[in-house]
Chains A and B, each alone.
Chain A
Amino acid sequence: MTTISNETIVTDGVDNVEAHPTPELPATLSTARPKAKKRGFGRWLPPLLVFLAIVGVWYLISLFVLDPHLRFLLPLPQDILIKGFLAPLAFNALMVALYQTVIVSMLGLAIAIVIGVAWAVAMSQAKWIERSLFPYAVILQCIPILALVPLIGFWFGYEFQSRVLVCVMIALFPMVNNTLFGLQSVDKGHKELFTLQGASRSTTLVKLSFPQALPAIFAGMRISAGLAVVGAIVGDQFFRRGTPGLGILISNYSSRLQGEELFATIITAAVFGVVVFWLFGLLGRRVVGKWYDFT
């Protein structure tokens, strides 16, 4: 075995300037730090100001525009907090409904992920499979799901499973589309590298295409997760049997003109949607963030 002489080490030093630029630039580094901090603060300030402005306008409308007997249209923020969130009865109903919605949407999402990835993997294996199956993914996306909802009720009843099914149908397309896009974005050189070693189809899928597709799959998951939450709320409003979810709670409160509780439920649903979006973003960054700029 030969070794390469000291020259190599010198070479690496030169080659490596790109890889470790920081030690060369202490001056830049020290000025960059406070700037970065300021940037962090600057990032939060504008949305905070907008939030305060919205709350301000809210109070103005609640207090001075609406008649007291019409205040359920836009209740005062503290009333939403006290009557909508903290009152024991409302709180219990909210938590039970939230739990139900979490279960329905996350189960629907999980099924959509499994079916979507499997569907895309099947299509990536042969052009004829893609030609046969892709139109149906598009059609699924184009059918207004609401138009199918009564049918789903006929077939599967007006309870849990129908709600889950609506979630799956709404969340499926982004999973199929993103996964397929990811699997097809494999670099030609990488593919030839595998071909030259006589790698099998399944080895290439596991060691090349699938890892390559992961960023796109996670981006799809994040979109689908948000849609699954929408699906759970929509499904609730049609399939009203069984344990109520947030959607049922929303329609109950609105029909009883319980403004404070209605707002609390809507806010809960919104926060849940944001949390899900954020969680899947976090998951994506955790898994592929090391090598892929997942934003």
Chain B
Amino acid sequence: MTVTAPAPSATRVPATDVLLDFANVELTFPDGTIALQGVDLVVKRGEFVTVVGPSGCGKSTLLRIASGLESASQGTAELGTDRIGYVFQDATLLPWRTVAANVELLAELHGESKKARAAKAKEAIDLVGLTGFEKHLPKALSGGMKMRASLARSLTLDPELFLFDEPFGALDEITRERLNDELIRLFTAKNFAGLFITHSVSEAVYMSTKVVVMSGRPGRIVETFDVPFAQPRDPDIRFTPEYAALVGEVSHALRKGHGHS
């Protein structure tokens, strides 16, 4: 009997698939400000990478380059997929559309049929727990629910790479922790790769498989940490010494990076 080839693993896309590859990315604004400098960053399938850094360090610029809203002045930014979800800092829901119509918007912009987009919207709305609120206008929703709707809207694209620009930054602590847990659950269920921007070290360590620490202007990557805890996360890991130690290390790196600028 010969060695069995590991054929079954080929049906599942290898976990090493590179979905985002930044090599020596630099962005200089027209006024001469250097927003990013020498950024090397790889996000692979199955990874949830969080970028932490002081405000104004170019974290969001990273996502803007990744999504094509901005282009790098130097270096290369390559994507391994065109199915990209982008969740903004604000929910950016259209105030005249109901929750369902907002969630349908992206499929509508891609010219999908009414039936197809309604089905997608329904699935996404169920997934983020907004069932029953389809007919509500955004102004009738709380901040947390608006973010859920925004998340659902991106989910209709069935993204392989999900970009999050401090999506829960404006929410209260309780809502934020709940949404963190739900996002992790979606991440494990949907198997997308995540690039998540935040200024909360605790949030970064809790959610991600990898934490990238950036320095203040010009934004550079100071240090990268692998987070060893199993996904989906047990909320109680927040109270373990290993978690506290890692948060401490990341905070330390953040302070050091801040000191440089």
Contacts and interface: CB of A to CB of B under 8 A. Distances in A.
B112 to A, nearest CB: 11
Given A2-B186, A19-B141, A292-B96, 12 more contacts: A1-B123, A4-B127, A8-B182, A11-B144, A15-B175, A18-B142, A19-B136, A196-B86, A197-B109, A207-B105, A291-B96, A291-B137
B182 A15 contact: no
A195 B69 contact: yes
Interface string A3-19: 11001110110111111
A22 B150 CA distance: 26
A14 B129 CA distance: 13
B139 A192 contact: no
Contacts of A211: 94, 96
A189 interface: yes
Given A2-B189, A189-B92, A208-B94, A290 B145 contact: no
B185 A4 contact: yes
B21 interface: no
A48 B45 CA distance: 72
Contacts of A96: none
Interface of A: 1-4, 7-9, 11-12, 14-19, 187, 189-190, 192-199, 203, 207-208, 211, 214, 288, 290-292
16 contacts: A1-B123, A2-B186, A4-B129, A8-B129, A11-B144, A12-B129, A14-B175, A17-B142, A19-B140, A19-B142, A189-B92, A196-B84, A197-B110, A198-B109, A214-B96, A292-B95
B94 A14 contact: no
A199 B111 CA distance: 10
Interface residues of B, number: 42
Interface string B170-188: 0000110010011001100
Contact of B109 (A18, A207, A292): A207
B200 interface: no
B85 to A, nearest CB: 10
A211 B105 CA distance: 14
Contacts of B130: 12
A199 B90 CA distance: 20
Contacts of A189: 88-90, 92
Given A15-B145, A19-B142, A203-B109, A193 B127 contact: no
A7 B92 CA distance: 26
A3 B136 contact: no
